[in-house]
Structure 1
Amino acid sequence: MDLGFLNDYLVLVIVGICLCLGYIIKSSLNFIPNKYIPLIMAVTGCILNIWINKSVTADVILGGMFSGLASTGVHQAFVNLIQNK
């Protein structure tokens, strides 16, 4: 199954903002469990994409969620790269 169509929904600005926000939550806010960070990033990505596009459609919601969740994947890729796993 080709998932290349998801590239159309990736918003790099949202990935960057969510990556920074997720890092802040993970390293500074100890009262938020790590298991909730992807959920927070998906919701934040949706809100940011709705704000950027000034509309609520299925494409905008998918783009926001995909970009927010992609930021958690990027973080994990960097962690694994740095730790040489």
Structure 2
Amino acid sequence: MDLTFLQTFYIPTIVGICLCVGYVIKHSLNFIPNKYIPLIMAVLGLALNIFINKTVTADIILGGMFSGLASTGLHQMFSQMIQGNK
């Protein structure tokens, strides 16, 4: 299955912001369980994309949520590279 079409929905600015916010949540706010971080990043990515584009379409929704969730995957990738596969 070819998923390269998802590259059109990847927004680096939103990924960067969500990556930073997700890092702060994970390492500073212990009262938020880790299982809710992807949900928070998806909603934050959606809100940021709507704020940036000032409109709501299916592409805006998908782009925002995809970028927010991509930030959690990026964090996990960096964590695995730094800590090594255990």
Measured against the shorter chain, the TM-score band is over 0.9
Residue 84 of structure 1 and its aligned partner are, at CA, apart by 1.4
The correspondence of residues 1-85 of structure 1 with structure 2, limited to 5 A, is 1-85=1-85
The percent of aligned pairs where both chains have the same amino acid is 72
How many residue pairs are counted as aligned between the two chains?
Answer: 85
Instruction: Please give the per-residue CA displacement for 1:20-52, whole angstroms capped at 9, x wherever unaligned.
Output: 000000000000000000000000000000000
The letter for the 2-side match of 1:8 is: T
Residue 5 of structure 1 and its aligned partner are, at CA, apart by 0.4
* Structure 1 unmatched ranges of 5 or more: none
Instruction: Please give the per-residue CA displacement for 1:44-73, whole angstroms capped at 9, x wherever unaligned.
Output: 000000000110000000000000000000
3-state secondary structure, aligned to 1:79: helix
4+ long deviations beyond 3 Å: none
TM-score (norm 1): 0.99
TM-score (norm 2): 0.98
* Structure 2 unmatched ranges of 5 or more: none
